[in-house]
C-alpha cells in the first residue's frame, strides 16, 4: 500500500476528529512532519481531500479546512445509500457477468485478507479502504445508468460521503473493527443477492450498508464529547 493512501487516511481521520479549526490552513511541511512523510504524498492527499469536499483551495492555492454540520454529513451518506441501492437493484436485474463476478469475488477475498490483522495496521486499513472503493465502483459502473453515476459522483464531493470516507480509523478500538467485519459480511451478502438476481434484496442491502457510515459518525461525535473537545474542523453539530 503506497504512502499517499496512508497519509490520506490519517489526514481524513484528523479532520473527522476535529484536530483542525474551520478555515485553518493546512501547511504541507507541518503536516509532513506530523505524519512522518514527505511533502509529495501530503500534497496528493490534500488534493484528494479537496475532491471529497473536506478542504478547499484559496486564491493562492493553499488548502483550508471546510466547515460542515453533522446533519449535512448524515444527509449526504443517506443519499449515497439510496443511490447505491438503486445501482445494486439494476445490476441484479440486468444479470451479473462472469467478469463482474470474478472482480467482486476478488474484492471479497481482499477484504477478508485485510481484516485478518487484529488490530488493523495503517497498511491493512488502507488495503481494506482501497478494496471498499473498488467494490462500490464495480457495482456503480455495472448498473448502466449514467444519470445515476453522475448523481453519485456529485454527492461524493460532499464531506464524508464517498464509500470509504467514514470507515473507522485503524480499528484501534474493538467496536470499530467489529463494524468493519460487519460491513464486509454485508459485502458478501450483497454479492450473493446480485448473483441470484434478487433485485429488491440487493437494493435493501446496499441501502442498509450505509448505516455503518452513520454509526461511525455517531461514534466520532461521542468520542469528541467524551474528550471535551471543541467542535472544530467540520463542525459536526448534532441535531442542527
Place of cell 492555492: 61
For the chain, the domains span 3-65, 70-226
Q: Which of 135-149, 160-174, 197-211 has the lowest mean pLDDT?
A: 160-174
pLDDT tens across 17-54, in order? Answer: 778 888 899 999 999 999 999 999 999 999 999 988 88
Cα(148)–Cα(172) distance, integer angstroms = 35
Name the nearest CA neighbour of 53 among 29, 89, 84, 77. 77
CA-nearest of 7, 202, 184 to 93 is 202
Q: If you ran DSSP here, which 8-state letter would residue 18 be given? A: T
User: How would residue 176 be classed by pLDDT, with cut points 50, 70 and 90?
Assistant: low
pLDDT category of residue 148 using cuts at 50, 70 and 90? very high
Give buried/exposed letters for 81-97 (b at 16+ CB in 10 A, else e): bebbbbbbbbbbbeebe
Cα atoms in the 13 Å half-sphere on the side-chain side of 29:
0
Whole-angstrom distance, CA of residue 96 vs CA of residue 102: 10
> Is the CB of residue 219 less than 8 Å from the CB of residue 168?
yes
Name the DSSP class of 164. Answer: T
CA distances from 120 to 9, 62, 173 (A): 13, 33, 10
Share of the chain above pLDDT 70, in %: 86
Which architecture does CATH list for 3-65?
Orthogonal Bundle (1.10)
Task: Return phi, psi of residue 56, to 5°.
Answer: -140, 150
Q: List all residues 6 or more positions away from 36 whose beta carbon is below 8 Å from its beta carbon.
A: none
Second-level CATH architecture of 70-226: Up-down Bundle (1.20)
pLDDT of 240: 37
The phi, psi pair for 21, rounded to 5°, reads -80, 150
Amino acid at each position: 500500500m503506497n504512502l499517499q493512501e496512508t497519509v490520506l487516511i490519517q489526514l481524513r481521520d484528523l479532520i473527522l476528529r476535529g484536530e483542525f479549526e474551520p478555515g485553518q490552513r493546512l501547511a504541507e511541511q507541518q503536516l509532513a512532519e506530523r505524519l512522518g512523510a514527505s511533502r509529495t504524498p501530503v500534497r496528493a492527499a490534500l488534493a484528494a481531500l479537496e475532491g471529497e469536499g473536506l478542504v478547499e483551495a484559496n486564491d493562492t492555492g493553499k488548502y483550508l479546512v471546510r466547515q460542515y454540520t453533522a446533519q449535512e454529513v448524515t444527509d449526504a451518506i443517506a443519499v449515497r445509500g439510496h443511490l447505491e441501492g438503486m445501482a445494486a437493484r439494476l445490476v441484479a436485474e440486468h444479470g451479473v457477468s462472469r467478469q463482474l463476478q470474478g472482480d467482486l469475488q476478488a474484492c471479497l477475498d481482499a477484504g477478508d485478507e485485510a481484516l485478518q490483522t487484529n488490530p488493523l495496521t495503517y497498511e491493512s486499513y488502507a488495503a481494506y479502504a482501497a478494496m471498499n472503493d473498488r467494490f462500490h465502483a464495480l457495482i456503480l459502473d455495472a448498473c448502466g445508468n449514467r444519470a445515476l453515476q453522475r448523481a453519485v459522483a456529485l454527492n461524493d464531493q460532499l464531506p464524508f460521503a464517498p464509500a470509504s470516507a467514514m470507515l473507522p480509523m485503524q480499528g484501534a478500538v474493538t467496536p470499530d473493527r467489529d463494524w468493519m467485519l460487519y460491513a464486509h459480511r454485508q459485502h458478501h451478502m450483497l454479492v450473493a443477492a446480485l448473483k441470484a438476481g434478487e433485485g429488491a434484496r440487493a437494493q435493501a442491502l446496499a441501502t442498509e450498508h450505509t448505516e455503518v457510515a452513520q454509526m461511525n459518525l455517531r461514534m466520532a461525535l461521542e468520542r469528541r464529547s467524551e474528550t471535551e473537545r471543541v467542535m472544530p474542523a467540520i463542525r459536526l453539530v448534532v441535531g442542527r
